[in-house]
Amino acid sequence: MWWLLNSLNIPLSVETVCVFTAPIFSANASWATYLLTKEAKGTGAGLMAAAILAMVPSYISRSVAGSYDNEAVAIFALIFTFYLYVKTLNTGSLFYATLNALSYFYMVCSWGGYTFIINLIPMHVLLCIVTGRYSSRLYIAYAPLVVLGTLLAALVPVVGFNAVMTSEHFASFLVFIILHVVALVYYIKGLLTPRLFKVAMTLVISVGLAVCFAVVAILVALVASSPTKGWSGRSLSLLDPTYASKYIPIIASVSEHQPPTWPSYFMDINVLAFLIPAGIISCFLPLSDASSFMVLYLVTAVYFSGVMVRLMLVLAPAACILSGIALSEVFSVLTRSIKLQLSKLFDDSPTSSGDSSPESSTNSTKNENRNEKHEIAPKEKTSKKNRKKEKEVAESVPVKPKKENRLLVLPFELSVMGILLLIVLGGFYVVHCVWAAAEAYSAPSIVLTSRSRDGLHVFDDFREAYAWLSHNTDVDDKVASWWDYGYQTTAMANRTVIVDNNTWNNTHIATVGTAMSSPEKAAWEIFNSLDVKYVLVVFGGLVGYPSDDINKFLWMVRIGGGVFPHIKEPDYLRDGQYRVDAQATPTMLNCLMYKLCYYRFVETDGKGFDRVRGYEIGKKHFKLTHFEEVFTTHHWMVRIYKLKPQKNRVRGKLKKLKASAKTSPTLAAGRKNPWQ
C-alpha cells in the first residue's frame, strides 16, 4: 500500500495511518454488518443494521479518527467471520468454509477476543444438534473452521500452542467430537433398517456415555489439581465476575474491566435497547439457523457486557443487527399496509365504478375467458411431474395472500403515524450519536475539557507536567507513577518509567503500590532501591477530577498486599469506609500517597476542602522529610516530587563528635580523628 500510494504521489506517513485506520475499518464493519444481516433476514434488514452501526456510540468510541487501537480492526473481523459462518451454514459451500477459517485467522492476529468466536460458534452448533436441526451444511460450516482455524491460530506467535493447550479452546474440540458422533449416527440411520438402527443406537449411546464419564473424570482431576487449569485471569473473571476482585486485583483495577452501570447502556446503544426485544421476536418468525445464531450472539454479548464495560463493544454489532431486523419488519408492515389501503381506495373510487357499464364488464369477462383458454391449452401438454408441481404451487398460492392481508393490513392513519414516529425516533438517535461522538469520544484523553456558564475550560495539566519532565530532568532519570500514566510519560516526556500499561510482571506493579501505601521513609527506601529520581501523582481534589490517584489508591493497596502481606486493606479503612477526612485511619494519613497529594493543599482555600470526596481533609499541616516538591501544574492535577539525596552517615557521626568535644574537651583530646 505504501509503495502504491507513493507511486501515485500520495504521501503516506505513520501518523496518517494511525489516524485513518479506525475509520476505514469501521466502514468495513458496516459493510460486514450488512452482509451478515442480509444473510439472516434480507436486504432491508441489512441496510438498516449497517446504517445503525455506522452511528452507534459504543463503536464510535473505538473507531473515531485517531483512535489507533486493535478493537477497531477486530470488530470488523468478528462480524465478517460470523457472516462467513452463516453464509456457509446457508449454502453448504466448502469455499465459504475455507474463507471462514481464514477470517478467523485474521481475527486471531487482530485481538485476543478471538476466543469469543471459538466458543460462540460451538455453542450454536450444539444448539442446532439439540434442537434437531443437524444437516450436512452444519458439518461443513463447523468442521473446517475447527481444523484449519486451529492450525492457523497456532502460527500466531502470541497464541502458539495455546490454541490447543488452554481451556478456552476445549469447548470447540468437544463439540467437534459430538458433531462427528451425530454425523455417524445419521449415516448409520440411512444404511440400516429401523430395527438394526435401534440396536446400533443403543451401542453408540452406551459407548458415548462411557466416554463422557471418562472425560468428566479427567476434567475433575485437572480442576482438583489446579482450579484455573489453562484459563487466563480475564476468562475466569468473565465466567465468575467476582474472581478478579478476589484473586487478581490488577485485572479488576482496570476501569474497562469494571461492570457497567445502567446509564452506560443507554449512553452507548441508546434507543436500540428498546428495539432489541422486537428483533428477537422477528428472529423467531420464522426461526432459521441464521436467526438462531443472531439470538445466541445477542444473549452471550449481553452477558459479557454486563461483566466488563469494555465488552459493550462486542454487544454493539448484535444490538444493531437485532434493531435493524426489528425496524425492517416494522417498516415493511407499515408500508405494505399503506400500499394496500391506497390500492383499495383507488379501486373503490366512485369515478371508476360510475364509468363502468354492463357492456364493458361483459367484454372484459369474455376477454378474461379467452385468456384463460389460451393459458390452459399449453398447460395440458405438460408432463405429469410438471402437473404435480403446478398443483402444489396452485394450492400454496391462494393461502399466502390471506395470511399477508390478515397480518400486514393496518389502518391507513395508524400506518402513517407509525412511520412518522419511527422517523422521529431515528432523528433522536442520530442527534444522540452525534452528541456522544463530539462530546464523549472525540476529545483526547490527555487534554480534559469542562463546560460551565462562562464557556469551555481546558485542563492541559498532563502535557504541562510531561513538558516539565522533558525539559528539566536528565534523560536517564527514572519516574515512578501508577501504571496508568506509563505510556504517556514514556512517549511525551521521553523518560524511563517503572511500570506502564504493558507491564506483565505483577510484582513490579505491586512494588509501586506498596511504596505508595507505605510511610514516607519506607517508600523512599523502596524507590531508592529502584533508582527512581522523581515520583508523579495525579490529584483532582482542587478541580473535581474524579479519576485521580486518591480514588485509585485502594487498588494500589490490594495489589501491593497481594505480593507483600504486611500491606493490609483494613488498615486504610475506618469501619469499612474509605475516608481521607478527620475520620481517616493513622495508616491512611501517614502513607506516601496521602502526603504527596495533599501537601500544601490547605494553602489553596485555607480549609483543605476536597471537591471530589466532598469534605475537608484530615491532616492539613505537615512537612515532607524524604521528598521535595519540584513542580505542580496550574490546576494542581499533576504533582511531581523529587527524592532527596541520602544523608552521609559518616558526616553525621563527625557532627556528633564535634558536639561532644565542645561539651567535654578532655574526652575530645583523647579521641583520634577517624579520617587520620
**Tens digit of each residue's pLDDT (9 = 90 or more) over 524-561:** 999 999 999 999 999 999 999 998 999 999 999 999 99
64-91 pLDDT tens trace: 888 888 888 999 999 999 999 999 999 9
Q: Can you tell me the distance from the alpha carbon of 549 to that of 578, in angstroms, rounded to the nearest whole number?
A: 13
Q: What is the pLDDT of residue 193?
A: 78
Q: State the cell numbers at 201.
A: 443406537
656-673 pLDDT tens trace: 555 555 554 443 444 443
Q: State the cell numbers at 222.
A: 485437572
Under DSSP, the state recorded for 569 is G
For strands 478-480 and 496-497, give the pairing.
parallel
Q: Can you tell me the distance from the alpha carbon of 294 to that of 334, in angstroms, rounded to the nearest whole number?
A: 24
Q: Can you tell me the distance from the alpha carbon of 650 to that of 653, in angstroms, rounded to the nearest whole number?
A: 5
Q: What is the pLDDT of residue 226?
A: 58
* Contact call for residues 512 and 498 (beta carbons, < 8 A): yes
Q: Can you tell me the distance from the alpha carbon of 598 to that of 629, in angstroms, rounded to the nearest whole number?
A: 12
Sketch out the chain's domains with CATH numbers: 17-331 (no CATH), 458-641 (3.40.50.12610)
565-621 pLDDT tens trace: 899 999 999 988 999 998 999 999 999 999 999 999 999 888 889 999 988 998 888
Q: Closest Cα partner for 330 from 260, 278, 394? A: 278
Strand segments (E) across 365-508: 448-452, 455-459, 478-480, 496-497
User: Given pLDDT bands bounded at 50, 70 and 90, which one contains residue 231?
Assistant: low
How far is CA 312 from each of CA 50, 54, 257, rounded to the nearest angstrom?
18, 16, 11
| Cα radius of gyration (the chain) | 35
* Contact call for residues 675 and 653 (beta carbons, < 8 A): no
In the chain, what is the straight-line distance between the N-terminal and C-terminal CA atoms, in Å? 75
pLDDT of 181 above 90: no
Q: Is 445 helix (H, G, I), strand (E, B) or coil?
A: coil
Beta carbons within 10 angstroms of residue 135's beta carbon? 13
> What backbone phi and psi angles, to 5 degrees, belong to 664?
-130, 90
pLDDT of 514 above 90: yes
Give 178: exposed, middle or buried? Use CB within 10 Å, 0-12, 13-18, 19+.
middle
Q: Can you tell me the distance from the alpha carbon of 475 to that of 61, in angstroms, rounded to the nearest whole number?
A: 35
